[in-house]
Structure 1
Amino acid sequence: MNHSPSNNVVVSAMISQERDIALIDELRGADAETACVEFKQNNADPDRIGVLCSALSNSARIEDKAVAYVLWGIDDSSHNVIGTTFSPDAQKVGNQDFQFWLAQLLKPDIALSFRTLQHPDGKVVMLEIPAATSAPVEFKGTAYCRIGSATPKLSDHPQRFQKLINNLRPYRWEKENAKTYQDADEVLKLLDYPKYFSLTGQNLPDHKAGILERLEADHLIVRDVGGRWNITNLGAILFATDLGKFDSSLARKAVRFIAYGGHNKSATVTHRHDGVKGYASGFEGLVGYINGLLPVNEHIGAALRESRPLFPEIAIRELIANALIHQDMTIQGAGPQIELFQDRIEITNPGDPLVQPDRMIDLPPRSRNEMLASLMRRMRFCEEQGSGLDKVVMSIEVYQLPPLKIQAEGGSTQVILYGPRSFAEMNRSERVRACYQHAVLKWLSGEKMKNSTLCERFGIDKKNAAQASQVISAALEEGKIKVADPDHPRAGYFPFWG
């Protein structure tokens, strides 16, 4: 059955209303008001509401809750729905609209949401208050907290203030909801749960409750009200059967692959693949698809000729995994992109790098998406320790390819892996970059880079060792390497920071 856009809006509104009523009933079911819930009938005093917003927002963060609520139309003692005359849209403070007045006096800004609902037992107004995120929320310059039904100044309770500060964390995209109020069957349709159990090495339970329990334990889903579930961004981005069934902002995070028949983007597009599955569900298929398209290069080994891919498979795998893990998920309308040209492959992800490009090989990785990174490492998509770039660079040296290029460009991070080119075909900057990366690998192994090891890296014959010496001199001149022992300049070299 097809639904018109207007019908879809109506259906969505009905689901939202149904969820809100279920939420009200769940909040009413508590034995008493909690630190994150306040019941009222008609009290519409603006200053009292402002103090409550500050107190409940701060207390929600102290209790590690995402939101807090004020409900009008609920009896304070019995929690029965008794209806209310309070109308936030009609409320004024002087000549100002009440909600605008309130927003001006709450700092930092919080996205308050007033909703008027027709509960089966009467009219209820619900105010949803997000938990504090960056700093304690103040009303008229004062921060409050919640103790029982009281709302004292936060400064008068240093232990609560300290807990609030400890709980204030940077925004966690992974924990936000991608879909809300889904029943169990819908969750299991939207998520590739068999792949989750396979990749994490767990036996697949033979009942829904066991499946949902494990998905919840890894923060892929969280409990909603009325026995329903929310799918987190983490769950969707990793295990969606179809990212198109989620919000467009999430769907645009799908991996895009484009192959060109030439050396630049003006060449004919020979292959294009727009990802549909979540990263974990589709990773092996994507890597296999790309490797299947790579040209094969004939390599003369020690005893015989052998055919091998143009690029090392481990390099493709690690670089794609890094792009998925380290992207900035908060950038709208952008996702990882892989572009294959005749002489190189470019892998781009949204967000400036958190580590200087020159130090990515040796420094521990810093990720904006720690939950995503942790789970992908657990599923062995990438290195358990480190960024995996040391193995990438090592494989590049084995293939004697031009050096890896990592650059920050226009709010994104781009890694370029080049196809085979001889030492003579590399320019000065490429030779210096290769020299630096070789020095880093040696340093990580507890060794020094020497003229002889650099000759081996470039495939330079020993009789032409002067060519390697020229590269070392250029790298020293550019400050990319340094002499390991000033008293014995030819004893070896370290990277500039070593």
Structure 2
Amino acid sequence: MRGFNTIKELLEAKEGEQFQFKEARTRFDVNETARSCCALANCGGGKLVLGITDKRPRQIVGSEAFDQPERTRKWLIDKLRVMVDFHLYDYQGRRVLVFDVASRPRGLPVQVDGMAWWYEGDSLIPMPEEIRRKIYEETGLDFSSNICTGATLSDLDDFAIEAFRVKWLEKSGNKRIKNLDTEQLLRDCEAVTDEGVTYAALALFGKRASLGTFMSQSEIIFEYRSSDASGPAQQREEFRIGFFACYDRIWDLINLRNDKQHYQEGLFIFDIPTFNERVVREAILNAVCHRNYKMGGSVFVRQYRNRLVVESPGGFPDGVTLDNILDRQSPRNRRIAEILGLCGLVERSGQGMNLMYELSIMEAKRLPDFKGTDDSFVRITLNGLVLDKKMLLLINKIGNDRLASFSTGDFLVIDALYHEKSLHKNLRSHLKRLTELGIVEHISRNKYVLARSLYEVTGRAGVHTRIVGLDHDTNKELILKHIRKNGDKGTPFKELGQVLPSHSRNQLKVLIRELKKRDLIYVIGKTSSARWFVR
């Protein structure tokens, strides 16, 4: 769908399955917002526009609804498990709020409180059953929803089922779940149907002996290795049992050797675990949801001192590549993903990859690495070491309130600019909002840099001056500009190396002498305590 980034374009847009206009002069019901966004996602994505009338000729009336749209956006993402962004427009003093909703995952309808919504023209209705069936057919046959011939309820583990019940009750708040008998509980989550026990039920709740009989490939193997040397692992545990019976145990094993990395910078103290629990759990959940159960082989979770590798049989699901992995969701095992989604384990329609990227950036670690992935296996490496403790100060400077409103793309922009990497074209749409928030500065037509205040808090103000000043004619002017910006606090000599990193110490001294000879700068102090000032 094309941009529609101006008020004029919005006024001319056709209301229907991709655009919904609401006056919402003073308020708008949050649950109706969720249902509308749900329907837009199921119809391929679209925009919910508040503050413009729906009837033509459209009028801009302005809306006071959702005075903290960042929080509403985050709530919608948690509710729908699809990406939602927002844009604010001011037209002659009238506020227009637009929620931009991404399309549903391939093969999986979006739901609100168990109900999938749909737009038929501009009418909001429950999704028709024939539409739902067509969506499920997009990814072909779902192996996990097939009935396992010969399996019965006695093949399922009571502990795993009760662990699921507790999590579903916590997520939904529906007290009825607490009193359901086992069979009804499993029927309500569609792990069991009138035809029998599904493979999803075995993968999530199966007993060890039953999995050995019906689904021996449904196994997770944990290994701890202190080095990359070949040979037996220092610790190895095999889990051929329903996922809900071993999920917490696998994390406990990893957490036994989960060192904290301690950093202190002035008043700020950071204790960063080598292995972030949410990132690790998401990686394992992805393996369970998306592995190919028709292939032999187990899911391997290999822990090393500073990294974790999760390997699962089967390449990426159909339609998913490294280029679109943050935007395209296509669960290979829909029934498993839906059951995990009921109890809140699966983020954003079974993907969770967005969360893994965001948390890695917030902890100044490498992004998840898929090196070694091919058509037969998905291999994801989570690197646990903090790469640059200064970036922790930058994240802290941005603040939790603003971070809570960030999309994955916002985080990736900050990561790329901080490490001076080129921006992927798909990320450039995030620059306008980040500039409005004062996090990014627009310095020329296609050139952006993080705000100087963010560089200053990391002690890298010279980097900001260098990037902004690359178009100046001489290196002396760059140095002079940087010293001038530092004002009364002065500039230490070592900071000039950040302005001109390709220059040696002697080359910098030559430039400083020339500026001093022209009586443009002077120095106070000696050796490492010396500071340069502009006259």
Larger Rg: 1
TM-score, reference length from structure 1:
0.49
TM-score, reference length from structure 2:
0.46
